[in-house]
Amino acid sequence: MASHRRPKQPSRTRVTVLTATAAAAVALSSQAAQADPHQSKKDVKSEVDKLYNEAEQATEKYDGVKEQQDKLQKEVDDLQDKVARGQGELNQLRKGLGAVASGQYRSGSIDPSVQLFLSGDPDTYLEKAATLDQLSGKQAEQLKTVADKQRRLAQERAEAASKIKDLTETRKALGDKKDEIKGKLGKAQQLLNRMTAKERAAMQAEENRANRSNERVNLGDDVPASQRGAAALAAAQSKIGSPYVWGATGPSSFDCSGLTSWAYQQAGQSLPRTSQAQANAGTRISSQSALKPGDLVLFYSDLHHIGLYAGNGQVLHAPKPGAAVRYEPMSNMEFAFGVRV
């Protein structure tokens, strides 16, 4: 029998994440000019860091919308497949009634109950037929099955239409958030382009030193929060040096919550996608002194940044565009609280 499963529609929302190098291409290098003499390298770096921070805030929102979109897409696909299968089953029921009608027509009479097949309104016919006592028990059961199937199909089609509307709105929100991130990164690159080559080289050297800090960091001898926390931290440590890419969840590049969710997945624990959602993934720890290696660490009042506590006041995280997964002193950021998964 032919399959009535509806083929999957290709997702039009699959978004290609931009690496820091691709983001840099947003600004045309030909437009680069000498740095504003009234704006120091320190001022430029401060403004660039601010834009990167805003881009990360937008990235966490993007991740949340993307997760919602993926969930809706699956629900839509499942509903559409269900409708297609239901329609196939209904067609088979109608085909059976049609065979009965054909046989009765050839014998010179059509049972009034079989008129259902031609009427297209099983509920109305059932009411009339029941009043006239024209249906046998078996016929009534068959006709009720068709009527119930039609009602369920109508409900499922309505539900699918509602989900498709939600999906369309979510796709637009995703596109808007993507544009916001690209805009922030583009503005940051424009500021960098206004610096002299010497100033840019000095700033890059500073970033390189921060990335190399992993070679000499002292993590102390704290006992991990749990065996699972130790496994998650070990997984994240294996990705030191991997680039920050917004929207990325590994295994070769990450954003901040992408790294923590990937690390815990390797330890056998599923975490929500965004830092705000991961904040509710376990027991909150308000004091930095109570943190143990493997605990999640949230930063800033809106919880838009997250990492893994590594010990001795160090956090292992995917910091920002242009940076690599690395250790960094927690004191460099605004600590909110920790979470023991």
Could you give the angle at which helices 256-266 and 41-106 cross, rounded to 10 degrees? Answer: 60
Question: Residue 39 in 3-state DSSP?
Answer: coil
CA distance 311 to 316: 9
For the record, the structure tokens of 26 come out as 């947003």
Question: Identity (one letter) of the amino acid at 172?
Answer: K
As beta bridge partners, residue 317 has 326
Q: Give me the catalytic one of 4, 38, 304, 305.
A: 305
Q: Please tell me whether residue 284 adopts helix, strand or coil conformation.
A: strand
Secondary structure string (H, E, C) spanning 139-187? HHHHHHHHHHHHHHHHHHHHHHHHHHHHHHHHHHHHHHHHHHHHHHHHH
**Of 123, 76, 56, 40, nearest in space to 319 by CA:** 56
Q: Which of 244, 219, 249 minimizes the C-alpha distance to 234?
A: 219
Q: Name residue 275's amino acid.
A: S
Which parts of 179-285 are beta strand (E)?
Answer: 283-285
β-bridge partners, 340 = 283
Q: Where are the beta strands (DSSP E) in 230-294?
A: 283-285
Residues 237, 243, 247: CA angle, nearest 5 degrees: 105
Confirm whether 304 is a catalytic residue. no
> Residue 256 catalytic?
yes
Q: Choosing from 4, 38, 256, 304, which is the catalytic residue?
A: 256
153: Cβ–Cβ under 8 A, 6 or more apart, which residues? 83, 86, 87, 90
In sequence order, what are the residues at sequence separation of 6 or more whose Cβ sits closer than 8 angstroms to the Cβ of residue 166?
Answer: 72
Tokens 């954003």 locate to 255
Q: Which amino acid is at 327?
A: Y
Cα–Cα distance measured from residue 98 to residue 132, given in angstroms and rounded to the nearest whole number: 22
Select which of 4, 38, 304, 317 is catalytic: 317
Q: Which residue numbers are catalytic?
A: 256, 305, 317
